[in-house]
């Protein structure tokens, strides 16, 4: 247990940051799985409605990745790599 006021504060800050990091990382993983599932259905149908749905999911993933980068959840290169990988998958479809 913490012995002084600053150590107690640091423990609280670490807990807060841990929750924030977990939120961003799990949300990005969940949306990525949804994107990949929708991508498979789009490959089968080649429907424009499915492509629009993919674009919406992709933009929300980009938003979460960018916000996570801004809050130091992701490193700059990690965020760029994740975004590039997703856009390459969509472009190949």
Q: Is 68 exposed, middle or buried (0-12, 13-18, 19+ CB in 10 A)?
A: buried
Instruction: Tell me the pTM.
Output: 0.86
pLDDT at residue 26, as a whole number: 97
Helix (H, G, I), strand (E, B) or coil at 46: coil
Residue 82's pLDDT is what? 97
Could you tell me if 35 and 57 are in contact, meaning their C-beta atoms sit under 8 angstroms apart?
A: yes
Instruction: Indicate the burial class of 15 (C-beta count within 10 angstroms; 0-12, 13-18, 19 or more).
Output: exposed
* Domain 9-92 homologous superfamily, CATH: Ribosomal protein S20 (1.20.58.110)
pLDDT of 45 reads: 86
pLDDT of residue 93: 82
- Sites in the chain below the pLDDT cut of 70: none
What is the predicted pLDDT for the residue at 14? 96
């Amino acid at each position: 247990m913490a012995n002084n006021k600053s150590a107690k504060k640091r423990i609280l800050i670490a807990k807060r940051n841990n929750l924030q990091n977990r939120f961003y990382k799990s949300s990005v993983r969940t949306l990525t799985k949804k994107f990949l599932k929708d991508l498979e259905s789009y490959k089968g149908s080649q429907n424009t409605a499915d492509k629009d749905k993919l674009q919406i999911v992709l933009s929300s993933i980009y938003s979460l990745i960018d916000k996570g980068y801004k809050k130091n959840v992701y490193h700059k290169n990690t965020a760029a790599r994740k975004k590039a990988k997703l856009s390459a998958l969509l472009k190949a479809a």
